[in-house]
């Protein structure tokens, strides 16, 4: 549990909103042009600290595993699929690393990279890759052909591999409040919201979640209920992370999110549009992490990565006494997947 020092540290930041105020979505999720080639990949790492570099005979180059998105495929799903196809290893995604941009075949191309833990499998030469090497990061940076891959490896090496991951989800669509005759807390997902929830049920397991938390409103719980059922667990209710629970004691809500981040495994946390932007912006501000946009569309996910408290931290007001945000990456609803 995080103590009073954490509560003091997360309090008193600028930009406090009045209790009950709903901060608007500041930026809509961008829809990439279909003329842009979209691809995804990963820095695949093992417990011994080595990372995978592959040789592609078609290009006669050494590269990080990556490849183009299939039609309708999400970026994270493409990263996992391409790693499996090129290396033979199953990947559990971690933090987002970088997006690289360049021109390929006369068209602009973007490649989104994640860190990913090798979770089993074995390499066999295939149509795309004829050799795989497990090497230290510094050696990988010397081996890869493209400078863009070196940049991605530098982003990977900037933080340890044992970061705490939190998947912060805004609930899926639940129709208009005015059209629901009952209590707003009980407003269920709409048909579109149920489709979004099913999309999240396929997307979120790519990070290997181990527990599911949710604000108590029906639409928040139902958005992640399928993920919890697939884990054989129940949804853990978090009153502090609902709009009515967060704003009367904002510091307590932030502390609760940090406590969840500091627990074992990878948590999914379902909350509301009146909470998530403030949580993400505040934690980024406290960590000195530049974050100019905080979109929060229904059915979207913030992929958050934290450095855990240092061993032996005391209750003194120190940055080592609470998980520190090092990466925050926005993932639109899986139903808004780009079409390459």
Q: Is the pTM of this model over 0.85?
A: yes
| Superfamily the domain 37-157 falls into | Nucleoside Triphosphate Pyrophosphohydrolase (3.90.79.10)
Task: Tell me the domain boundaries of the chain.
Answer: 4-11+162-336, 37-157
Pseudo-torsion of CA 318, 323, 328, 333, nearest 10°? -150
State how far the Cα of 97 lies from the Cα of 95, in Å rounded to an integer: 6
User: Along the 340 residues of the chain, how does pLDDT read in single tens digits?
Assistant: 455 444 544 544 444 443 444 443 333 334 444 589 999 999 999 999 999 999 999 999 999 999 999 999 999 999 999 999 999 999 999 999 999 999 888 889 999 999 999 999 999 999 999 999 999 999 999 999 999 999 999 999 999 998 999 999 999 999 777 676 767 678 899 999 999 999 999 999 999 999 999 999 999 999 999 999 999 999 999 999 999 999 999 999 999 999 999 999 999 999 999 999 999 999 999 999 988 899 999 999 999 999 988 765 444 445 567 899 999 999 999 986 554 4
Residue 264 has what DSSP assignment? S
**Residue 69 neighbours by CB under 8 Å, 6+ apart:** 38, 39, 40, 75, 78, 337, 338, 340
- For 4-11+162-336, CATH number? 3.40.50.1240
Q: Which two tokens stand for residue 12?
A: 């008193």
Q: CA 290 → CA 64, 75, 287, 326, distances in Å?
A: 27, 23, 9, 10
CB-based contact 220:170 (threshold 8 Å)? no
């Amino acid at each position: 549990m995080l103590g009073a020092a954490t509560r003091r540290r997360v309090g008193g930041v600028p930009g406090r909103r009045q209790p009950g105020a709903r901060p608007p979505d500041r930026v809509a999720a961008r829809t990439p042009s279909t003329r842009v080639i979209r691809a995804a990949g990963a820095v695949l790492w093992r417990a011994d600290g080595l990372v995978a570099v592959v040789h592609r005979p078609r290009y006669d180059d050494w590269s990080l595993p990556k490849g183009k998105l299939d039609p309708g495929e999400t970026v994270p799903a493409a990263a996992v699929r391409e790693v499996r196809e090129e290396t033979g290893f199953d990947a559990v995604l971690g933090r987002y690393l970088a997006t690289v941009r360049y021109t390929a075949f006369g068209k602009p191309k973007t490649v989104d990279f994640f860190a990913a833990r090798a979770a089993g499998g074995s390499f066999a030469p295939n149509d795309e890759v004829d050799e795989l090497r497990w090497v230290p990061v510094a050696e990988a940076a010397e081996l890869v052909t493209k400078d863009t891959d070196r940049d991605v490896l530098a982003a990977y090496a900037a933080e340890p591999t044992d970061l705490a991951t939190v998947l912060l989800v805004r609930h899926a669509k639940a129709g208009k409040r005015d059209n629901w005759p009952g209590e707003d807390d009980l407003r269920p997902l709409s048909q579109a919201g149920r489709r979004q929830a099913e999309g999240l049920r396929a997307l979120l397991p790519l990070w290997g979640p181990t527990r599911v938390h949710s604000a108590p409103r029906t639409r928040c719980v139902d958005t992640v209920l399928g993920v919890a059922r697939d884990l054989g667990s129940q949804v853990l209710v978090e009153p502090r992370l609902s709009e009515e629970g967060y704003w009367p004691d904002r510091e307590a809500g932030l502390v609760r999110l940090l406590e969840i981040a500091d627990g074992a495994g990878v948590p999914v946390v379902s909350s509301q549009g009146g909470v998530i932007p403030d949580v993400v912006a505040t934690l980024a501000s406290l960590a000195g992490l530049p974050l100019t946009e905080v979109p929060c569309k229904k059915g979207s996910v913030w992929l958050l990565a934290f450095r855990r408290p240092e061993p032996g931290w005391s209750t003194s007001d120190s940055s080592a006494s609470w998980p520190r945000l090092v990466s925050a990456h926005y993932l639109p609803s899986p139903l808004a997947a780009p079409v390459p």
